[in-house]
Structure 1
Amino acid sequence: MMNMKDNRSLNQAKEGFFSDLYQNIRLIIRLMGDSRVNIFLKALPVGALIYLVVPYDLLPINPLDDALVLWAGLALFLELCPEDVVNEHRKALQKNNRIKQQPRTVIDGEFKDTR
């Protein structure tokens, strides 16, 4: 049986790592602008981004702890956001992607040099 929160995970890897990363960033940006998401939840991604620029680290392994804090903040944000709001925004993003990915119509024509 599929868990209902599978749609909210940062680790879905359906289209590829960078494509999924881009989609999740767009999802988080949309959720940050949604008034139905609690203001305290919105502090998670903001705090994770602030941690990247603060010169103090929790662990002495600089790039790894920065990446870990950023990933944990974003993953926790998606997990704690209301499920129906996350699903609504995911569907809207998928709909926008389908519209952009429709094949373009090729119109045959002829070229004539008039010089």
Structure 2
Amino acid sequence: MNSDLKNIIGSNIRSFRKKHHETVTSLSKIIGVSQSTVSDWETGKKMPRADNIKKMANHWQISTSQLLTNYQKLNKFYNLIADHIDDSFTTKEINDILNYIDLIKRAHKKE
């Protein structure tokens, strides 16, 4: 298993757990695993099984993709774009920017 993915998921689990003011112990009881298992997930030592990812997503009322996505990377990207866009942009200009981003993504998929 890709260690980057394990670290991303672990970081997200920790973030959601803390956001909901839960301890490792309380989350482990809710999911039905040991405390050490939750700790191993959060530190990237182990990968949670799909059924446990679904349990956590249901418990926190989020999508499973929210546990699997590197939001730190996305937030940096969003902030970079936001730093360059102000209220003077028209809707058409913002749509042009979004279309250009799609064009670049398509071009990179072909490579």
Same fold flag (TM > 0.5): no
- Which has the larger helix fraction? 2
Identify the TM-score tier after normalising by the shorter chain: 0.3 to 0.5
Larger radius of gyration: 1
Does 1 or 2 have the higher relative contact order (CA < 8 Å, sep 6+)?
1
